[in-house]
Structure 1
Amino acid sequence: MRGTTVCPGRKEAWPLSLEQIFVALTLLGLLMLAGKWLRVRVALFGRLFLPSAILAGLLALLAGPQVLGRLASRWIAEDSPLANGVFPEATLEVWSGLPGLLISVVFAGLFLGKTIPGPRSIWRRAGPMVAHGQTLAWGQYVIGLLLALVLLTPVFGVSPMAGTLIEIGFEGGHGTAAGLAGTFRDLGFESGADLALSLATVGVVAGVLLGTLLVNWGVRTGRLSAQEADAMDTERFSEHDERESVPRFAKTRSIDPLSVHLGFFALAIGIGWLILQGLILLESMTWNTDGEGLALMEHIPLFPLAMVGGVLVQVALMRLGHAKSLDRRLINRISGAALDVLIVSALATLSLEAVGTHIWTFLILAVAGIAWCLFGFLVLAPRMFPRDWFPMGLANFGQGIGMTVIGLLLVRMADPDNRSGAMESFGYKQLLFEPVVGGGLFTALSLPLVYQFGALPVLIGCSMLMTGWLIFGLWAFGPEKDQ
């Protein structure tokens, strides 16, 4: 993320000391402990499967200047010691800068340590899920951009870039929404990041609640057997069998394995940065030589290219015969920790004022996004999957409304023994899905594309892609096809 990092309500950054950064990170750690405590002690949060990081972020938001600070200023005194909440201003500034940095760590680790099969093998296992997932993702752009053109911009005066918020918030999730904050700010739609984060939170809650209701409805109506929709271990999301041999770089003695894996993260991010700089240089030497032409590359954040860097690193390891040298479980731990810190810091610095200013835009996009995801599951999934449409479609529904982890959660709920093979298909799908949408290259490009060309041309392009994937999915797969 480029540009000056500021906390809500501030116009310019100011120098921070190492001690202030240390205090900010320490408070983040304490908040995560508090979030975990709430998750364990409050039964409702457990039943909703709300991540501890989201609870910690919401707790920080309540204790910060947006809620506690405003209440103190209104009911005690404007110069009350609690007018800024319980956190120092320097802490809020550190937190506001973390999401744009840590999102690159999350995306760099998406494919590190994974065996990447050939496209033909991926397609054979995940073709229907790819077609259905792409239809849902491009449909989110179509619904959002259509609303922006006919309602949000002419009636409420919101930027046409609001049409991208459903896909960024729902499909991309908190990480993508926070990671694009710099792009929103550079393009003059700073409140877009806050709206996207709020939509991401709504998506997670709606995904869990609606997903649970859908699983129960599936059992009652016979669409899902009670034996399949059994109890599950919600903490068990490991991609590795515990009986696997220990990867090479997980048992090194000359240096801690964590340090080695952090080095590979750095390598992937570094490669992504070099690719980004190369694209910016290419743009400046071709269609934007005078600085007044089409400027797209300078608005692309680093994180989707860090993902590309991770793929290149993993492919290189495979070619050198070290495909299983990295410990995928350790990669998941690093990415998971980065995502937890990212979510807490992003929610803690969320601007409720921005959401309140655009409350109707937020509500309209939230309702429209949820309705489209339900339509994609209830109407499209039975017609696009040749078999086991319920768990397969539920995986895409969960990812489409509340990011990848909700998709995994709902598959575990519907098919804990993985009898349908939905878990493998869902995993393979990401290789042909996430590089483009759901936080991929087009997700990052969608904002500058709308900024440069307007909402209508992007709407036409997304409509063509959505229609193409829909027709292909219905024709190539469908319930009568037997793979």
Structure 2
Amino acid sequence: MSAEMVGFSIIIVGILLLIGKWIRVSIPLFQKYFLPSSIIGGFIALILGPEILGKLIRSFQVETTLQGIFPEGVHNIWSTFPSLLISVIFATLFLGKKLPHIKDIWHIAGPQISFGQSVAWGQYVFGLLLTLAVLTPFFGINPMAGALIEIGFEGGHGTSAGLATTFKELGFGAGADIAIGLATVGVVSGVVLGIILINWAIRKNKTTILKDPNNLPEHELRGIIEPEERPIAGKMTTKPESIEPLALHISVIGIAILIGKGLLEGLIYLERVTWGAWSDTEIMTYVPLFPLAMVGGVILQKILEKTDTIELVDRKMILRVQGLALDFLIVTAIATLSLTVIGEHFIPFLLLALTGILWNVTAFIFIAPRMIPEDWVERGIGDFGQSMGMTAAGLMLIRIADSKGKTKALEAFGYKQLLFEPMVGGGLFTAASVPLIYQFGAIPIFILCLVVMLFWMAVGLFYFGKK
């Protein structure tokens, strides 16, 4: 793996993103369903890579060192990107923005926290139930598959790819490919079903703001910001001759990841000399870095709030780095997806996907209006989008339902992440769920998830729902 090949691999990802953007701008079908350029570019790479074009070439017994149209080695380098970039994404979740008091978060975002937690833990409940009742007895699939709906849907591409090493170490290497496949299905179906649900809510007169979905301007559909409306991407907080502002922010993110790495190594050591030695049970050893990188970001942000009096760290600049990492992660995760593995487990994959979609849609239609006292469509649609694959999809659906920000949907959705993502949606429990099932079995984890889901449903229905 030469430095030149790594650089060339990055250039190809950039070209794929540009092609994806050109397709999004040019073809109305992709505009209608708001497909991100990264997903389009990822599918192009998948089609032109070793899994489709490469196999087609080999079927004609053509000798070549190319992996599809890509040089040998590019595909292998891409496979390492997601597990690295996911730590960048999670380290930036809370960097650069003042952490509000928990009471304020609970007051504004409490209904969505309850709804989001109910949906996330429900994905474990129904995933494990499906695995225990059908997938393991009839298809012989590993019981760890019960965690794949939450990992793929709530966690998305980043979490799925980030857990690849964990799956391999625990003897279920196919789990990562199935999870990435589920994440792809989740994002695409989440956007499509999200728009369908918004239209359904409009017809049923359940929306507060949007009354005509056809009023969206062309530049919104094409994913372009009009010149006169373009916001500042980030503030120059330092003089470039002293240090380039972007370099400063990347360095800060690196410190957050380093703190997370220290925490993870500390927990592994603590486990090794305490309960791990006593019970011969290891969990932290299999937990990946990215959830602890998020904790490292929170710790660093608290330090910055007390020490960074001149506000050197700019939130918008942090978001640009996060967005870059997410786009590159999605392209490379889809590009390196193993269709062979999904084909070998196609029926379990299909059943997991349908179960996840059915639960999320049912929760939005029947549970969200009973948990969220006001503007439930505008506020709930963001949680639906996130539960299907990625936070960005939730934000996009909120902007469609409430483009002017007249409700508290966007504010509550942002606050919700502070009490949501530390545990699920790629948080600590998401990362630990597979090792927990491996160590204790699917039934105890199913009971745990069922109890937690019922708790959050009770909070949402009987506390917030009564307001």
TM-score strictly above 0.5: yes
Report if the CA contact (8 A) 1:115-1:323 is conserved: no
1:414 matched to 2:401? The reply is yes
CA distance in 1, matches of 2:147, 2:366: 23
CA distance in 1, matches of 2:112, 2:47: 39
In the TM superposition, structure 1's runs of 4+ consecutive aligned residues that sit over 2 Å from their partners are: 79-84, 225-237, 241-253, 320-325
CA shift for structure 1 position 34: 1.8
Report if the CA contact (8 A) 1:268-1:313 is conserved: yes
CA distance in 2, matches of 1:231, 1:250: 38
Deviations 1:81-115 (A, max 9, x none): 37731112311111111111111011111111111
User: Which residue of 1 is the match for residue 112 of structure 2?
Assistant: 129
1:113 matched to 2:96? The reply is yes
User: Which residue of 1 is the match for residue 253 of structure 2?
Assistant: 265
CA distance change for structure 1 residues 105 and 34 in 2, over 3 Å: closer, same or farther? same
CA distance in 1, matches of 2:357, 2:21: 28
CA distance in 2, matches of 1:253, 1:219: 53
User: Which residue of 2 is the match for residue 474 of structure 1?
Assistant: 461
CA distance in 2, matches of 1:436, 1:27: 35
1:60 matched to 2:45? The reply is yes
Given the alignment, which residue of 212, 215, 220 partners 2:203? 220
User: Which residue of 2 is the match for residue 188 of structure 1?
Assistant: 171
CA distance in 2, matches of 1:250, 1:143: 50
Deviations 1:418-465 (A, max 9, x none): 222110000000000011100000000000000101110000000000
* Amino acid aligned to 2:3: L
Given the alignment, which residue of 183, 190, 195 partners 1:207? 190
CA shift for structure 1 position 324: 4.1
1:376 matched to 2:359? The reply is no
CA distance change for structure 1 residues 228 and 416 in 2, over 3 Å: closer, same or farther? farther
User: Which residue of 1 is the match for residue 413 of structure 2?
Assistant: 426
Q: Where do 1:75-94 residues align within 5 Å? A: 76-77=60-61, 79-81=62-64, 84-94=67-77
Report if the CA contact (8 A) 2:234-2:315 is conserved: no
Given the alignment, which residue of 325, 337, 341 partners 2:324? 337
Which stretch has the larger CA shift, 258-267 or 217-226? 217-226
CA shift for structure 1 position 251: 5.2
Given the alignment, which residue of 2, 8, 14 partners 1:29? 14
CA distance change for structure 1 residues 251 and 329 in 2, over 3 Å: closer, same or farther? farther
Q: Where do 1:331-370 residues align within 5 Å? A: 331-370=318-357
Report if the CA contact (8 A) 2:19-2:41 is conserved: yes
CA distance in 1, matches of 2:239, 2:150: 40
CA shift for structure 1 position 205: 1.1
Report if the CA contact (8 A) 2:382-2:395 is conserved: yes
Task: Tell me the secondary structure at the aligned position of residue 360 of structure 2.
Answer: helix
Task: Tell me the secondary structure at the aligned position of residue 276 of structure 2.
Answer: coil
CA shift for structure 1 position 231: 2.4
CA distance in 1, matches of 2:344, 2:416: 38
CA distance in 1, matches of 2:7, 2:195: 40
CA shift for structure 1 position 301: 0.5
* Amino acid aligned to 2:270: L
Report if the CA contact (8 A) 1:113-1:325 is conserved: no
1:51 matched to 2:36? The reply is yes
CA shift for structure 1 position 65: 1.0
1:463 matched to 2:450? The reply is yes
CA distance change for structure 1 residues 349 and 244 in 2, over 3 Å: closer, same or farther? closer
Task: Tell me the secondary structure at the aligned position of residue 68 of structure 2.
Answer: strand
CA shift for structure 1 position 289: 2.9
Report if the CA contact (8 A) 1:247-1:324 is conserved: no
* Amino acid aligned to 1:211: G
Report if the CA contact (8 A) 2:234-2:317 is conserved: no
Please tell me the root mean square deviation across aligned C-alpha atoms, in Å.
Answer: 2.1
Task: Tell me the secondary structure at the aligned position of residue 85 of structure 1.
Answer: coil
CA distance in 2, matches of 1:287, 1:247: 47
Given the alignment, which residue of 280, 293, 296 partners 1:293? 280
Task: Tell me the secondary structure at the aligned position of residue 313 of structure 2.
Answer: coil
Deviations 1:14-57 (A, max 9, x none): xx222222222222222222222222222211211111111111
Aligned-pair identity in percent equals 50
CA shift for structure 1 position 244: 9.1
Task: Tell me the secondary structure at the aligned position of residue 386 of structure 2.
Answer: helix
Given the alignment, which residue of 178, 181, 193 partners 2:161? 178
CA distance in 1, matches of 2:161, 2:350: 20
Normalised TM-score (structure 1): 0.91
CA shift for structure 1 position 226: 3.9
CA shift for structure 1 position 471: 0.7
How many aligned residue pairs are there?
A: 459
Normalised TM-score (structure 2): 0.94
CA distance in 1, matches of 2:327, 2:164: 17
